[in-house]
Amino acid sequence: MTIRDALLSDAAAIARLTGELGYVANAQAISDRLSKIIGNPDHLMIVASFKEEIVGWLQAHASEVLESGFRVEIVGLIVDGNARRLGTGRSLVQRAEQWASAINASAVVVRSNTVREESHLFYPAIGFIHSKTQAVYRKQLKETDSKSA
Ligand SMILES: CC(C)(COP(=O)(O)OP(=O)(O)OC[C@H]1O[C@@H](n2cnc3c(N)ncnc32)[C@H](O)[C@@H]1OP(=O)(O)O)[C@@H](O)C(=O)NCCC(=O)NCCS
């Protein structure tokens, strides 16, 4: 299994995995977003590949937060349902931690929907501490072709 930076040509595979999580996103929409993310120094966009197949992806974003300082947030992480419990998620997060350290971030944070039971077993197992529980509010400003299922 190899961890590498995502390429625009990974869009279809990333869209397929994203669909597994209940987000409707077509390859074109993912490709359009990837083109804005790849090369942006505030973002890390990586994939895990096994025998040329994309089996997972992670997006992380670095930002200066007034209350808590410069930190990295994992904003997306998915491992193929057929490739779980093989260490892929751990390897993707380790790469994000290395990036966070390299850019001098003080912490790596992640928010995860309470319905994703496996992620609430995963993050503590790899050293993350459950620090708070939040509600997420959203106001839709325009229609997009992606929405949470
Ligand atoms: C959460 C997720 C990314 C984990 O990926 P993964 O590649 O299966 O995780 P790993 O194999 O690296 O697991 C590392 C450790 O986490 C724990 N863990 C992971 N999944 C677990 C599960 N379903 N049940 C219990 N423990 C689990 C284990 O301790 C595991 O180590 P072990 O297999 O040696 O016991 C994957 O299940 C996933 O994509 N889920 C759907 C999307 C999601 O919830 N994303 C996170 C939201 S931000």
Here the CATH number for the domain that contains residue 11 is 3.40.630.30
Work out how many domains the chain is built from and give that number: 1
User: Is ligand 1 within 6 A of the CB of residue 21?
Assistant: yes
pLDDT of residue 39: 94
Is residue 134 included in any domain, yes or no? no
Tell me the HSE value of 1 on the side-chain side, using a 13 A CA sphere. Answer: 18
At 40-59, the pLDDT tens digits run 999 999 999 999 999 999 99
User: Is ligand 1 within 6 A of the CB of residue 90?
Assistant: yes
Q: Which two tokens stand for residue 28?
A: 């074109």
Average pLDDT, the chain: 94
User: Is ligand 1 within 6 A of the CB of residue 111?
Assistant: no
Range of the domain at 110: 2-125
Is residue 18 included in any domain, yes or no? yes
What is the widest separation between alpha-carbon atoms in the chain?
A: 43
Is residue 91 included in any domain, yes or no? yes
Is residue 115 included in any domain, yes or no? yes
Is residue 95 included in any domain, yes or no? yes
Sign of the CA dihedral running 31, 33, 39, 44? negative
